Structures are given as C-alpha cells and as structure tokens.
Structure 1
Amino acid sequence: MENPKATISEGVKQKDQDTLWNLPNDILDQILSFLPLKEAVATSVLSRKWRYVWTSCLALDFDFEKNMKPLTHRSHYQDQDFEDKQCQCQYVNWVDGVVERHIGPNVEKFRVCFPLNLSFGLFIDKWVKFAIKKRVEVLVLDFSAHSHRSIYLGNGLCDVLTQAFGYSEYPALKHLYLKSVGVTTRDIEFVLSSFPCLEQLEVSNCPNLMSLIVSSLFGLNLKHLAVEAWQDGLVNIRISEANLVSFSYSGYPIELELSNVPLLVEVSISERDGAVTDDHRALIFTQQLSGCLSQLRTLRIDLNGMVDREVYSVPALPNIRHLELEVLVDDSLVLEQINCFIEACSYMQKLVIRMQFKYSEEFMYPEVNLKEPAAANTCSHHHLEVVEIVGFHGRKGAVKIVTFLMKAVVSLKEVVINSAQLFRGEVVDDSDEDVEEEEARRQALHELKRIVPAAISFRCL
C-alpha cells in the first residue's frame, strides 16, 4: 500500500525543485554570483536548464586559492608553484575556457589572481579585452607573488583597452585594481581620461610606474585612490583639482603633493624606510597634507620607528572623528606622541592603535620603559568614546599604552582588544605564535580586565 505521507513529501520536494528550475535567468545569475566560480560551473550537472546558466555569470573570480588549490594539493601557492609550467598552463586554460564559453551580455566583476609570467601576456590581453567588451564594472588584475615579479601586458595596457572598445561606446568600469602589473604613467593617464565612470583606482607594487598624476585633466571623477609601492620605481604622486574623497599611500617615502582637493576627508599615509630622517617625517603635516588638514575626518598615520628620538608637534585637526595610529610599542617616546595626537584631535570619537613590536631572529628585544607625558601636558579627552587596539601582545609596553588611554580619556565607553598580528598594517596569520608569547598575552588581558572600570565595555576579539 502506498504511503500517503511519502507521496506528499515527494510532491513538496518536486514543487520546490520546479520553482527553483523555473526561476528567471537574471535571478539564477544572481544566485550563481554568490558561489565560487568552480561551484557555479558545477551547477551545470543539476538539470538541462542549468547546463549553461553559468555561462552568463556576472561575477568571474578566477582565484587560485578558492578554485584550484584542491587540484594542485597545495595549501598556498609559492614561488615554485608558478615556476611549474604545468600549474601555470592549468590556470590559464581554466580562465581561457570560461572566457570562451561565456555568452552573457555583461560581466559585473572580472578578477584574475595568480602569479603568471610574461609568456602568458597575450592571454592576459585577451582577458582584459573580454572584460571591457562585457562592460565590466570591477576589474582586478593581481599577478603578485613572493618574488614580486610584474606582468607587462603584451601590447601595453592603454593599447589593449583602446582595442577593446571604440570611443563611441560608453565604458562602464568603476573600480580598477592593479597589483604587480607593469603599467606606466601613460597607461594610468589613459585609464583616468578614458573611463568616465571610474570611481576607485588601486595600484599596488607596479615598479614601472614612476609618477602618478590625478588632476582635472586625468581622473576628474575619481573618488578613491589607493597606492602601494614597496618596490623601487615610484618617485612622486601629484593630486590637484580633483574630486577625491579618500586617498591612501603605503610604501617607501616619495614626493607627495595634494592641492585643491575640497572633497578629501579620508587619508592614510604609511611611509617606512630605515634611512628616513625626522625632517622627512615632519613633511607629512608641513607639506604633504598641509592643504587639507582642516577638512579631514578620518586619518591613518604610520608612526612605526618615527618617535624614538624626538616627539614632533601635531597641528590642530579639528574635524577628525576617526584616527588610526600604527606605532612601534618599543619606542620610548610613543606615549608622548600618542598624547600629542589626542590633544590635536579634540573632537575625535574613535581611536585605533595598531601595535608593532621589535623582534630579532635570535631573541626578543628587551622591554623598553615608555616615558609617560608630564601630568601638566596630559590631555583629558572629552569626546573620544571608543579605543581599539589591534595587534595586542603581552608586552608591558602594550599594557601601559592601554592603561594610559583609559586614564586620559574621560569619556571612554568601550575598549576593543584585537590580538591579530600585523605586517605593514595588514593582519597576517598568527598560527605560529610562540607558546610563551600567547601565555603572556593571556595574562596581560586578564590584568587589563581587572583594572577596567565597570562603566567601560571591554571586548576581546
């Protein structure tokens, strides 16, 4: 005898499946856009209708780690991986196969992330042309690797883009990210002048880029610019008469000029080099940012190694609401420098301290006795409500900084402790942390919890 409950259950499942199979194609495209590309392609086996749905995907993210790692049995690609011709060819064939089979009219995001060498330049040219012709909005070319090689697109980036569309068409590119790509100043100027919708440009470690100019002639509509240059090459950045809202630079010290940028409210500067003098550090406020200091609302500054010999003055920053300082906890004058910033940002609401520590391969550097500001010079801040500590370790200097802030900030409502390790301002894997270091941090957190007033929320991430 037939089980009526089983029949009803099967009927419900069949109805759900019919509903899924009969969704409009644009809805199916949106569903697939949330899946890694490998899984999106795998949906072709679900049914006859789904066989070619993936060929209209709006997001094409060719990430080696997400899609090909299981095939190569590598946890992370290293230099030897991309030296392996088979691995390179496997990646290129994968990207090329998807590009050739894609039949959708548009692509919202196109991302290539793998350290290819110059022998694949013509393939990369082809992929860029494909993305532009598909009216891509987000284009990411990331060829970074531990050896810091750079890909020079076979025909030069601006030539490739020129071939990809005629000037009568309306390019849709809004966000361009280039990492370890051999672009030139001419390439960037072409991009800025030819893509009227471009709002966000990120350039990272492109050693053939000597100069970067953003002005009313190039990139008038650009809103967000981020540059990273930890390789020799970039000499200067000049920004004038531009509508930038945010600007970020990290790398070796360069000539930086910002003028007539009335909409700029967010700036991040991280210049680091052992040969940099205190005089050069002072240029950040006296020259580089002098024309826009009064309008900034968010400021990120890297003080790592800057204040060990001298505490430099900080001009008034009346509109700053969010301040981030990356500090070397072992600098003896770091507390005094932090105090100067607190005093300068009198209406600040959130302060983030990103901590770095001195280490040696043989031993940990000894603890440094941090000099506290004189009582008469200590600022009692009345607007700062949230303090976040990133990269907290169980060092006495780190505990002393947190304790000092809790005393100096009378309006403090919340303290957030994040123990993640940092490298050049970025969070890195801390799985290899020393057991003794971990125990010291645990004890330090316990001590901090004990002394935090009950009125202050204390959170550990």
Structure 2
Amino acid sequence: MGNEDRISNLPTDLLISIISRLTILEATTTSILSTRWRYLHHYVTRLNFPIYLPRVDADVWYFASAVTRVLRLHRGGRIKEFRMCMSGCFNYEIVEWFEFALSKKAEIIHLRGIRYIDYEALFLRLRNKNNGFECLKDLCLLDPLMSDQDLELLLSNCIALESLELKNALMLENVSIVGHTKLKHLNLTYLKVHSIVIRDAISLVSLTLRILFNRHSVQLSNTPKLTQLYLEAFFPIKLLDELLTGMPACIRDQLQIMHITAKVTSICEMYDMYDMYQKSWVDFVNVKHLELTFIAVKFSLGPYFLCNFFRLVRLVEACSSLDKLVIKLPILPPSHDECTLETYVVPRCELSPKYLEISRYSGAPSQLALTLYLIDNASRFLQKVSVVAQDEEALARARHDFEHIASVSFSVM
C-alpha cells in the first residue's frame, strides 16, 4: 500500500484540474513523473505565466519563444484564464497570444507590462462569429494603444464582461460605457481623458478612477449597485469636491466604501485652504469605511500636508455613519517637519468613526498634531485607535506620544 501510486490512477480530468492550479513551470515538470503524466500539461485550463522582467533583448526573445511553444503545444479545447506580465516582446507575438486566448474561449485575460498591441489587427476578429470575445468575463490591459472607437467596439462584443481594467490607455479621450448590464468592477487608471460617461451599468459594484488631466468630467447615472468608490487625485482637491458633489444624490446615498488618494503639493495658499475648510461637503450617509491616503512629493511638506488634510476634513465629517476611518500619512522624516496645529486656526468638528487607524506614522509634528486632532474630535464615538508606525524607531515614538490614549494598539509596517 505504501508504494502504490494512487494519484496516477485518478481520472484524467481530475489530474488536469489539479495541475491547472500549478504554475506553468510546475505543471510542465509533472511530465517527467511517468508516461501517465507526460502530456497532461498540454491540457491545463489556467495559463498563468510568471512575471518576467528581461535584462537584455536576448532574454526577451528566449522567453517569448518559450511562451509561444507552450501555447502551440496546448491541446485542450478551452482554458479558464490567460495571464501574462512582461515587456519588450514584438507586436505580432502579443496578437498571436491574445488570439490564442480568445480561440480557447478564455474567461479571464490579463496582459500586464505588454505594450503596443495592434488593436486594428486584433479587432478584425470581431467581424467573425464565435470570435471568443463573447466569453470574456475579466479583461485587464496595460498600455494599450486603444482609441475611443476601439474601446467601443471591444465593449460591444464583450457581452459577458464583469470586470474591466484599463491602465495607461493614453489614446483614450472620451470614454463611454453605456448599457453594460453585467459589468461589476471598472478600473480606469492613469488616463488622460476629457470625459467619462458611465450609464445604465446596473450591476456595477466598484469604480476606480485615476485621472491625469486637471480638467475632465465624470457623469454617473443609473448604477443602482455602486457601493465602492476609489479615487486617486492627481488633480486639485477642488475638482475632487466637484466630482463628489456633482454625483446624483441616489448614487451618493448608496456608497459604503470610499478610498481617496491625494498628492500633497506645496502649492496650497492659506486662504484657499480656509475657504475649502469652511465649505461643507454633501452628506454621504451610508459610507461605513473611508480611507484617505496622502502621498508627499517632497520631504519638507509638513505644513502642506496639514493644509491638504484640512481641506478634506469636512468630507470626513460628511460621512456621518462611519465605522472605520483609515488615514495613510505621507512619509515625513521628523527632522524635516516642524509644523504643528498652532499654524492654523482650526475649529472643532463632529467626526463619527468607531475605529481609527493611523498608518505610516513617523512621529513628525504634523502627524502627531493631526492624530490628536482626530482623536479629540471623534471622542464621542471612538472605541478603538490603531497606530501603524513606519519603522521600529517611529514605533517607540508612537508609544510615547499616545501613552495617555485609552484603547490604542501599536504595530509596525
């Protein structure tokens, strides 16, 4: 019994299902086990190639040739997913790989790090019946040379699409996503678009926008299931205000999770900050989880960090049903930051989180001032505070700074 190979006696379909959960290299290695296993890897249903970062052109050619060989040896009728992350390969190879995935009716196609796909050649397939696009449920493309018309043609054929991510699609100017009733997750990252229209996406749950232009318009309508909103602000806080306040009230009232990332800039006049602070945001009555991430572009930005934050503090106050507030601080060495709350005349506000998490704490004066301000203004509801320090030294400072605060826990990144 101890020497019996009981795994090899399993049905072929079950063995293929098992090795489909391995990496490509591991699945291929099983071919040396015995004649029973020799060709099983030619039928795997998940082709998830490892991330590949070539050092020289010869490496690109070698890896691309290996990928092409694996695909040409594949004998299965269908695959579940195809994932590839590399750079430097030729356009015709990418198109061949994409067409392979489509011909195998893949439900998931992720092409990351792959640039310059010739969509004009690829979309010729859309003119044929049973082209494979109708099976796609999850599509991720990085750096696609895609026009507005290309995107429209793609979406019109991906009738089963549930998740779409487009990153660095810099040719897009006006994105229109209308009537895609099965789309649940939409991620538009690092685009230079002038306008985005999302309408009648009745299954859309999460929306991620990272826009590069300072001026653009976002129109949302008839998205009854939209509850998660992720925004990365490469534009002024004022435009973020316009985006959120310009939403239909019915969409604002649906939101339960919001993540907002803002860059801390040094161009922030005091009077402008004061005007923004005095202005109340519209209410977000059902937001339970709010996360604000600040990214500093310079070390000596303590005053500007506080300035940027206080332009958003009214947004925190507008979320009157918060369970959790997460603040991810910019990394500011204490020696480069001498700013404290005394720099500003900041009135009290009514904050409602039950749980407050301060992440990337360094002990800089501005970070200490901000944390104490939040704890003080949320004391009526606050039940727990968590401080995540950026290193061991900052952890020691955090323990000293907040030793008088009840229900506080500490950890290090």
Q: 1:131 aligns with which of 72, 83, 101?
A: 101
Q: Aligned-pair distance for 1:393?
A: 2.6
Note if 1:355 corresponds to 2:314: no
Alignment correspondent of 2:211 = 251
Relative to 1, partners in 2 of residues 1:202 and 1:130: Cα closer, same or farther, differing over 3 Å?
same
Q: Is the 8 A contact 2:109 2:136 kept in 1?
A: yes
Partner secondary structure for residue 263 of structure 2: coil
Could you tell me which amino acid in structure 2 is paired with residue 190 of structure 1?
A: L
Q: Is the 8 A contact 2:281 2:318 kept in 1?
A: yes
Q: 2:366 aligns with which of 380, 388, 397?
A: 397
Partner secondary structure for residue 112 of structure 1: strand
For structure 1, list consecutive stretches of 5 or more residues without a partner in the other structure.
1-10, 66-76, 145-149, 421-437
Partner secondary structure for residue 316 of structure 1: coil
Q: How many residues align?
A: 394
Which residues in structure 2 correspond to 1:56-75 (within 5 Å)?
Answer: 56-65=43-52
Note if 1:386 corresponds to 2:373: no
Q: Aligned-pair distance for 1:161?
A: 4.8
Q: Is the 8 A contact 2:306 2:366 kept in 1?
A: no
Q: Aligned-pair distance for 1:94?
A: 1.3
Note if 1:208 corresponds to 2:171: yes
Aligned partners of 2:67, 2:210: CA distance in 1, in Å? 31
Note if 1:109 corresponds to 2:81: yes
Could you tell me which amino acid in structure 1 is paired with residue 400 of structure 2?
A: E
Aligned partners of 2:12, 2:194: CA distance in 1, in Å? 49
Aligned partners of 1:193, 1:123: CA distance in 2, in Å? 25
**Structure 1 vs Structure 2 CA RMSD:** 2.9
Q: Aligned-pair distance for 1:115?
A: 0.9
Aligned partners of 1:279, 1:380: CA distance in 2, in Å? 21
Note if 1:194 corresponds to 2:165: no
Please give the per-residue CA displacement for 1:227-270, whole angstroms capped at 9, x wherever unaligned.
1116xx43221112222221111131332221232221111111
Aligned partners of 2:140, 2:210: CA distance in 1, in Å? 15
Could you tell me which amino acid in structure 2 is paired with residue 104 of structure 1?
A: G
Which residues in structure 2 correspond to 1:37-436 (within 5 Å)?
Answer: 37-65=24-52, 77=53, 81=55, 84-117=56-89, 120-143=90-113, 150-153=115-118, 155-162=120-127, 166=130, 171-216=134-179, 219-229=180-190, 233-243=192-202, 244-253=204-213, 254-273=216-235, 276=236, 279-287=238-246, 292-305=251-264, 309=270, 310=273, 311=277, 312-327=279-294, 330=302, 331-334=305-308, 336-337=310-311, 339-357=313-331, 365-370=336-341, 377-381=348-352, 384-407=353-376, 408-419=378-389
Aligned partners of 1:171, 1:35: CA distance in 2, in Å? 27
Q: Is the 8 A contact 1:64 1:91 kept in 2?
A: no
Which TM-score applies when normalising by structure 2?
0.85
Please give the per-residue CA displacement for 1:13-65, whole angstroms capped at 9, x wherever unaligned.
x13xx221122233323322332211221111112111112111121112234
Aligned partners of 1:189, 1:34: CA distance in 2, in Å? 34
Q: Is the 8 A contact 1:215 1:239 kept in 2?
A: yes
Determine what percentage of the aligned residue pairs are the same residue.
Answer: 24
Q: Aligned-pair distance for 1:212?
A: 1.4
Please give the per-residue CA displacement for 1:327-362, whole angstroms capped at 9, x wherever unaligned.
367323355445423321111111111222468xxx
Could you tell me which amino acid in structure 2 is paired with residue 402 of structure 1?
A: T
Aligned partners of 1:368, 1:98: CA distance in 2, in Å? 58
Q: Is the 8 A contact 2:24 2:49 kept in 1?
A: yes
Q: Aligned-pair distance for 1:127?
A: 1.1
Relative to 1, partners in 2 of residues 1:170 and 1:334: Cα closer, same or farther, differing over 3 Å?
closer
Please give the per-residue CA displacement for 1:195-233, whole angstroms capped at 9, x wherever unaligned.
2210100000022222211112xx232111101116xx4
Alignment correspondent of 2:298 = none
Could you tell me which amino acid in structure 1 is paired with residue 99 of structure 2?
A: K
Aligned partners of 1:20, 1:390: CA distance in 2, in Å? 48
Could you tell me which amino acid in structure 1 is paired with residue 234 of structure 2?
A: R
Aligned partners of 1:280, 1:261: CA distance in 2, in Å? 22
Aligned partners of 1:372, 1:323: CA distance in 2, in Å? 26
Relative to 1, partners in 2 of residues 1:109 and 1:419: Cα closer, same or farther, differing over 3 Å?
farther
Could you tell me which amino acid in structure 1 is paired with residue 88 of structure 2?
A: L
Aligned partners of 1:260, 1:105: CA distance in 2, in Å? 39
Aligned partners of 1:221, 1:375: CA distance in 2, in Å? 46
Q: Aligned-pair distance for 1:288?
A: 5.2
Q: Is the 8 A contact 2:388 2:410 kept in 1?
A: no
For structure 2, list consecutive stretches of 5 or more residues without a partner in the other structure.
296-300
Q: Is the 8 A contact 2:233 2:263 kept in 1?
A: no
Please give the per-residue CA displacement for 1:363-390, whole angstroms capped at 9, x wherever unaligned.
9743322359978633152xx2322333
Relative to 1, partners in 2 of residues 1:20 and 1:133: Cα closer, same or farther, differing over 3 Å?
same
Q: Is the 8 A contact 1:334 1:370 kept in 2?
A: no
Q: Aligned-pair distance for 1:404?
A: 3.0
Relative to 1, partners in 2 of residues 1:260 and 1:376: Cα closer, same or farther, differing over 3 Å?
same
Aligned partners of 1:228, 1:246: CA distance in 2, in Å? 14
